[in-house]
Amino acid sequence: MSSAEHPVAEHPVAESLALVGREVAGVLEQLVQGNQQALDALAALLADAPRVFVLGAGRSGLALSMTAMRLMHLGLTVHVVGEVTAPAIGTGDLLLTASGSGTTHTIVRAAQLATDAGATVAAISTTDSSPLADLAECVVVVAAAGKTDRSREASEQYAGGLFEQAVVLLGDALFHALWMRSGASADDLWPRHANLE
């Protein structure tokens, strides 16, 4: 890494926080402006599914695990794929995936297996043209760089960071919308929080 590529900043952490904030604000604005139908469709799929399974690789998977926890707090039956207590997916279930490229082999294979089992697939991705998108009933496109995009055109951040941040915030927004629709109070949700901590 050359200093010409990354000039030394006077306050590097503060400047990096400002950069992240600007990029996140931009990608969220794009989500609001360009994906309202897909966002509404994803919320409806989550609300109507008897069970929700979440799957992502690496940091995208961690981001979706946060969403799984919030959906559980709301009272949905949610499983993180790969956890030892996750059951078989079946007819009517929803597999919610996150893959920037839409080509991650394990996620595409799981999506195919899910559709073969009669489940519905939804995808959060940077593209609606991929093997994963072809299997998904609903695709929410996030205008962020994938992890292999080092052009710095879509994001100054490293290796899909903006995409993963957007997945976390999108998950929180989906939870919040479903919570508001449910009419439940914060006190209603609280008993579902872990109590073995």
Q: What average pLDDT does the segment 143-151 reach? A: 76
- 46: tokens are 């989550």
CA 42 to chain centre: 11
Q: What is the mean pLDDT of the chain?
A: 93
> Is the pLDDT score of 4 beyond 60?
no
Q: What average pLDDT does the segment 39-49 reach? A: 97
**124: phi then psi, degrees, rounded to nearest 5:** -110, 125
DSSP states along the chain: --TTTSPPPSSHHHHHHHHHHHHHHHHHHHHHHH-HHHHHHHHHHHHH-SSEEEEESHHHHHHHHHHHHHHHHHT--EEETTSTT-----TT-EEEEE-SSS--HHHHHHHHHHHHTT-EEEEEES-SSSHHHHH-SEEEE--S--TT--SSSS-SSSTTHHHHHHHHHHHHHHHHHHHHHHT--HHHHGGGS----
> Is the pLDDT score of 99 beyond 90?
yes
Cα–Cα distance for residue pair 122/155, rounded to 1 Å: 24
Which residues lie below 8 Å from residue 122, measured CB to CB, with a gap of 6+?
Answer: 42, 45, 94, 95, 96, 97, 136, 137, 138, 139, 140
Please confirm, yes or no, whether 164 is among the known catalytic residues: yes
Q: Which residues pair with 141 in a beta bridge?
A: 125
**142: phi then psi, degrees, rounded to nearest 5:** -105, 120
Q: Which residues pair with 52 in a beta bridge?
A: 78, 94
The pLDDT of residue 103 = 95
**Percent of the chain whose predicted confidence (pLDDT) is above 70:** 95
> Is the pLDDT score of 100 beyond 80?
yes
The Cβ of residue 80 has, within 10 Å, a number of other Cβ atoms equal to 19
pLDDT band at residue 181, thresholds of 50, 70 and 90?
Answer: very high
Q: What is the pTM of this model?
A: 0.92
Q: Which of 137, 153, 164, 197 is catalytic?
A: 164
Instruction: Look at residues 121, 117, 93, 87 and name the one whose alpha carbon lies nearest to residue 107.
Output: 121
Q: CATH number for the 36-185 domain, one of 2.40.50.100, 3.30.950.10, 3.40.50.10490, 3.40.50.720? A: 3.40.50.10490
Q: What average pLDDT does the segment 63-84 reach? A: 97
